[in-house]
Structure 1
Amino acid sequence: MRTNFHTHTYRCKHAVGTELDYVTEAVNKGLSILGFSDHGPFKDNRYGLRMDFSSLEPYIDTVNELKRTKMNEITIYSGLEIEYDPKDEGYYQELLADYRLDYLALAQHFYVTDTGSPINIYSVTDTVQYIDYANSIVNGMATGYFKFVAHPDIMFVNDLPWDDNCEMACDIIISAAAANNYILEYNANGYRRGIHQFTDGERLQYPHPKFWEKAAGTSVPVIVGSDCHNPVQIWDEHMEYACKAVKEYRLNVITDIF
């Protein structure tokens, strides 16, 4: 069964295509479920590279209308990919209860330190920071607001050598997911980014083999996400590569988050 719960639109300012464009492509590619999870805004419009808060209601209204008009062709869910910050717990409750979103995907592009400072995961300078990143994910999991962790191994975009901190960060995330039967996403967009030269050799930025080799030894549920930023990416060759890889790792693959 073809499904995708990681879908962006033009509203996030770094993708193209309307909600209808993605639904049309998903139907054409034979998907049975499409979940929209555009980058979630905060009320203060922090971080950037995401929709403005003023776009949230139009986004939800559009997705809900497509649910109604396309219900005979495909199942559609409304969601957001968003960072966890402990001081915003009331906002996550509001998104799910008042805005009636179907789900939130946890994605720590930024994580907050114990002092309250936001750290961009793309610009960490020491692997010890991976531990803070991992702990922020575990804290987010524990809230119950999020259905899955998007690209949990995204920290490996940084050119830092593999060490004990990398091992520990992976173990923290995977152990918590295994203990709580929490879904981790194997992200196909890493394949679209291509092979890069790192200190420890050539590899994808993510998915990182060492992370997923660890996950393969557990019963952690894993969903493949396209993380598409263009309708043609809904189910492309990179999704095929990702689907093949999770089978080769013998991961506990699921196709639905509900």
Structure 2
Amino acid sequence: MQMKFDLHTHHQRCGHAVGEIEDYVIAALDQGLDAIGISDHAPFFGSDKEQELPGVAMAKLEFPAYVEEVLQLKKKYANRIEVLLGVEADFLPDHVHTYEQQLQKYPFDYVIGSVHFTLGRNIFDKSRWESADASEMLKVKEAYYDLIAASAQTGSYQVLGHIDAIKGFCPEMADLKTNKVDEALKVIAKNHVAIEVNTSGKMKDCGGWYPGDDLLERAFHYNVPITLGSDAHDPQRVGDDLEAVREKLKSIGFTEWCYFREKGPVIVKL
């Protein structure tokens, strides 16, 4: 029997998702999943503010309650589905140690490390691309993949989130060639960090998934571990495109993927 899981989901605490955590667990049951990972945005631990960006990530005071709620649901649904405690943490080079100190307080099954900020601006800020020419885009893309590679080297993450999300509102990014992409993939493979196939790219201007087929094929070439995350911000998207992703990965040559329990990979056949 083929394993069905989804490691990347959010809920109302982050301020830009809908539904309670239990709604996502129930949706996972409805989709016939064997495991559901809850991985809402960690607070901005590097900030002195209680909530640096309301509507982007939860307040610091909310974090212990978030963890406790997931742990309670893990117990409640133990005989029906495996509920995994995860978190999506921003990779901010100047604050890696601060994040580690905070996240080590809790029994996470996995941490997703994501790059959302490059050269001082959010990658999903549409306005930054309005007047950017190819040289500026290439500069940002190369800085982005430098950060991706650096995040893989920290040892802080089991999964790297949406590793070509830089194309989200700038689809042209996908066609800009740079060796930085392959260099990052080599570093990811060397450090045995998984990348996710994140099916939320379809919600952005670029369409499709993160990463695209070309990058997935190169990830396979470098033997990068692979996992799945819908990045659902609505319970209706839990497990979105799971079977299509499975078939795509098999067509590329992947024979297995993984999820995480107590920060260790659980390898399962595709």
User: For residues 1-258 of structure 1, what are the structure 2 equivalents within 5 Å?
Assistant: 1-43=3-45, 44=49, 45-48=51-54, 49-111=56-118, 113=119, 118-122=120-124, 123=128, 125=132, 126-157=137-168, 158-160=170-172, 162-165=175-178, 168-191=179-202, 193=203, 196=206, 204=208, 206-236=210-240, 238-251=241-254, 253-257=256-260, 258=264
Q: Alpha carbons of 1:47 and 1:139: their partners in 2 closer, same or farther (altered >3 Å)?
A: farther
Offset at residue 77 of structure 1 (A): 1.9
Distance 2:77 2:237 in 1: 20
> What CA deviation, in whole Å up to 9, does each residue of 1:185-222 have, x standing for no partner?
1111123x2775xxxxxx63743222122223221111
- Number of residue pairs matched? 243
- After alignment, is 98-107 or 16-25 more displaced? 98-107
Does structure 2 conserve the Cα–Cα contact (< 8 Å) formed by 1:186 and 1:222?
yes
> What CA deviation, in whole Å up to 9, does each residue of 1:73-95 have, x standing for no partner?
12222221121112222322223
Identity of aligned residues (%): 28
Q: Alpha carbons of 1:23 and 1:147: their partners in 2 closer, same or farther (altered >3 Å)?
A: same
Does structure 1 conserve the Cα–Cα contact (< 8 Å) formed by 2:197 and 2:209?
no
Distance 1:241 1:146 in 2: 26
Amino acid at match of 1:183: A
SS in 1 for 2:259: coil
Q: Alpha carbons of 1:185 and 1:58: their partners in 2 closer, same or farther (altered >3 Å)?
A: same
> What CA deviation, in whole Å up to 9, does each residue of 1:231-258 have, x standing for no partner?
121123x233222222222235413232
Offset at residue 9 of structure 1 (A): 0.7
Offset at residue 6 of structure 1 (A): 0.5
Amino acid at match of 1:180: N
Distance 1:194 1:83 in 2: 20
Amino acid at match of 1:169: K
RMSD after superposition: 2.2
Determine the structure 1 residue equivalent to 2:268: none
Amino acid at match of 1:94: Q
> What CA deviation, in whole Å up to 9, does each residue of 1:125-175 have, x standing for no partner?
42121111111122111111111101111112214362333xx23212211
Q: Alpha carbons of 1:11 and 1:183: their partners in 2 closer, same or farther (altered >3 Å)?
A: same
- After alignment, is 34-43 or 204-213 more displaced? 204-213
